[in-house]
Structure 1
Amino acid sequence: MQTTQFMITPASGKRLIAKALINYAPVQSALESGTLVIIAGTTNGYLAEEILSSIGQLEDFSREKFFRGIVLPPSQPRTENGRLFDESGFPGDVVIVDGKWKKGLTIFDVADDLVEGDIIFKGANALDVHKKKAAIYIGHPQGGTILASLRAVIGRRVRLIIPVGLEKRVSTDLDEIAMKLNSPGAHGPRLMPVVGEVFTEIEAIFCLTGAKAEMVAAGGVAGAEGSVWLAVSGVKQEVAVAQKLIKSLSREPLFSLPENE
């Protein structure tokens, strides 16, 4: 066995997760015959790029406005409460039926038609790494896209996959946080812990290389803010494949809004 450490930036992690998911057997099966719903979000934007590219339908897709809410620094003048002042360019979610992108649709259009074997991808805002559990910020008074999704997940066993970077890890129990944020008298977004298949950089590395990864350190500056250090363990060939893969993603640019936004 061999162990080597690698640093992964948040942007590289998003790309890594996306590349792993397009090679995931349930995703390949649903692409061939079924429905995939990629709910808009920054991490899911990378996934949409990879999946649409794999089926030759990337041309009309852009990650620039593929989100409903976004977290930016307080100095950023283009948003209010995590929303862009101008959201007129929102393209909808990415809905792929039997390998064909049905442009302009959202989860709300298709949730009631999804069946077992179909897949919903929904990002998250908080992650309990050890329990492999995630939670989602809720801003909409009717619960937003996650409640629309859960009708299909709980009602018809549609698979819910939660692509989420390790940068979103928290140390407190998610149920306890939700109780506090959702209580009468609290302010700001609510929080909903969700049972689904959490898919981080750790799962991505195992999926693509067979090596096991664990987070051993974090942080950085000058563009490395939010980065994680992963100790990757496996036989020599597995670690070598992981090294080549991570190196190939190391220059993934930071996510940015369009200049004219």
Structure 2
Amino acid sequence: MNKKVDFLQRTKLLIFKHLCFIHAKIIQTCSTFAYSQGNIDQQDGVMMIATFSLSPAGAKRLIARGLINEPVFQQAMTHGRMIIAVGTTNSYIAEELGLISADEKPRFAAGIVSGGVPCITAADTRFANICLENGRIIKEVSWEEFIMDFNRDDVFVKGANAFDADGNAGVLLANPKGGTVGELLRGSGSPGL
């Protein structure tokens, strides 16, 4: 199988697995809370659970906490290589790991959509993608060089702006060369990609 296709399929599976994990944890947490509060109705042996929503910040925090507890993530964090690409959701991951402070999160984004308008974070104030090896930040090389030594157990964390019904991720691109995704696909000659 083509290495790029295999990598993309594994990435989609990993994203889907994380979303399922997070969904299961939400249901488990809500069920435990509702049960402890005596708010679960039983009808014909079926448990009824209330629907709830999260703020964007709360959802990003939940995604971050779910992802950093995944075994694949933990393995790469402690015994491998990882790149955390800039992004608003990934800023919560970097904060949870103690790599940036809460005040620095706005600088860990390439751009945002504000008031319905896509905006780009100025390159001179924006943080770079974070490269980690065995949990230590590596600043001596660019992420494009760092990824060339990836193997199959290493992790590249890239956020998405949307998912379609089949689980395909969509990313907004302001860079004519494809931004992080374009660079990632061009550099996918690494044995691990």
- TM bucket (normalised to shorter chain) is 0.5 to 0.7
Counterparts of 1:40-119 in structure 2, within 5 Å, are 40-50=86-96, 52-53=97-98, 57-58=99-100, 62-73=104-115, 82-84=119-121, 86-103=122-139, 106-119=142-155
Label 1:30 to 1:114 Cα distance change in 2 as closer, same or farther (>3 A): same
Counterparts of 1:1-261 in structure 2, within 5 Å, are 2=47, 3-50=49-96, 52-53=97-98, 57-58=99-100, 62-73=104-115, 82-84=119-121, 86-103=122-139, 106-128=142-164, 130-151=165-186, 156-158=191-193
TM-score by length of 2: 0.66
Label 1:22 to 1:153 Cα distance change in 2 as closer, same or farther (>3 A): farther
TM-score by length of 1: 0.50
1:96 counterpart SS class: strand
Counterpart residue number, 1:162: none
The CA deviation at 1:157 is: 4.0
Provide the rounded CA distance (Å) in 2 between the counterparts of 1:132 and 1:39: 20
- Give the % identical residues: 31
> Which one has the bigger strand percentage?
1
1:4 counterpart SS class: coil
Provide the rounded CA distance (Å) in 2 between the counterparts of 1:133 and 1:154: 22
Gaps of 5+ in 1: 159-261
> Which one has the bigger helix percentage?
2
- How large is the Cα RMSD of the aligned pairs? 2.7
1:63 counterpart SS class: helix
Q: Tell whether the 8 Å contact from 2:89 to 2:159 is kept in structure 1 after alignment.
A: yes
The CA deviation at 1:101 is: 1.5
Q: Which amino acid aligns with 2:167?
A: K
Provide the rounded CA distance (Å) in 1 between the counterparts of 2:170 and 2:52: 27
